[in-house]
Structure 1
């Protein structure tokens, strides 16, 4: 079965016969009720693998195509984008919610960005990291867009990539408030959409355009 005939919200696995899905779990936060529901559905449909992904999400893997729709219905969650040219997820650390090192509310800002951007179309896939302190536990420097907290505010990063051709992102703004981060993210996304080549991730985009040119476009 080809990807073109894949059930909604599912993507083909290595065996070319079974599929995986990723329920949407904004900024990696889950509830007991959600976990209980996932466990119940996995048992009922004998889903062989439940995997925590690198993006703080839960993947249900190894489903025959005919059960995918029923699984989604019983899970009752939105689809967490895992393939395609869009924002896939926002990765966020605990920040000031619980972490002793937290300086700013990374979960709160991450949730705002999640609600605003996840699933939004892009020239290529995109990921966001929001870290509540300079330790950058949400891997902000190797995400397409990232921020980390200092006592003076958020530092904004663009053009990171953790893949085979890895790249540390460029800092384009510092000492920003939550609202300023959201506004700048929107500007960067629009500039990227308007000027990127098809399938060009932000890391290669920044290398091609140049960080100073991007700063001029989004900060003035």
Structure 2
């Protein structure tokens, strides 16, 4: 009796940087896990969804990482940080902070898929105000927005939660917010709905 291999979806991108980019070497490695006529999904989160046989998962992740591809879980987890598509100037625009924040939060389990976003200046190309958690660099510190929603009839901008944050403060506060959401969010409750129900003041009280 033939048993079909169990396929595990992986969300893959070229890492956290300004712009969603892939190199030819990375595309070649991705192609090794695709049949000739197979389609690959490109999400609005700057990720490609690739299905890998369960038995090959660990080896595939190592191979992807070797060529600079980052791999993330698919499902009710914090997604990789969405960043600006066009800007340059890695140090001036705070990209090391974005990379560290992504390293800390991406893949954390939450009640429902959570989309964080980062932008290096008030122009906001990374669209932080219409994502669940948004970070905007302003001069030499960071602003943190919560509860944005980009789709549907209830689309809205997030509200400013805190500003004037130093990097270490930002990391710790975002971690605490995710913990509050994990402990108090209902099953499959979107983060924006959780913020509306639970209240910004109560979240701030618990975080501080």
The TM-score, its normalising length taken from structure 1, stands at 0.74
Structure 2 equivalent of residue 53 of structure 1: 43
Out of 203, 211, 214, which is 2:200 matched to?
211
Equivalent positions of 1:31-70 (< 5 A) are 32=23, 35-39=24-28, 41-42=30-31, 45-50=35-40, 52-60=42-50, 69=56
Say whether 1:171 aligns with 2:160. Answer: yes
How many Å separate the matches in 2 of 1:73 and 1:124?
Answer: 24
Structure with a larger share of its residues in helix: 1
2:7 is paired with a residue whose SS is coil
Provide the residue aligned with 1:14 in structure 2: none
Q: Pick one of 123, 128, 139 that aligns with 1:140.
A: 128
Kindly report which structure 2 residues correspond to 1:25-174, keeping only aligned pairs within 5 A, or say none: 25-27=14-16, 30=21, 32=23, 35-39=24-28, 41-42=30-31, 45-50=35-40, 52-60=42-50, 69=56, 72=60, 75-77=63-65, 79-82=71-74, 84-93=75-84, 97-98=88-89, 104-105=93-94, 107-164=95-152, 165-174=154-163
- Structure 1 residue runs without a partner (length 5+): 11-20
**C-alpha spacing 1:177/1:194, structure 2 compared with 1 (3 Å):** same
Contact 2:141 2:165 (C-alpha < 8 Å) held by counterparts:
yes
How far has the Cα of 1:195 moved from its partner? 1.0
Q: Do the aligned residues in 2 keep the contact of 1:167 with 1:203 (CA within 8 Å)?
A: no
- Gaps of at least 5 residues in structure 2 are none
Count of matched residue pairs: 195
The root-mean-square deviation of aligned C-alpha atoms, in Å, is 3.1
1:191 aligns with 2:183: no
- Alpha-carbon shift at residue 113 of structure 1 (Å): 1.6
- Cα drift, residue 110 of structure 1: 1.6
Matched residue SS, 2:135? strand
CA displacement 1:106-139 (0-9 Å, x = unmatched):
x212211221111111011111111101111111
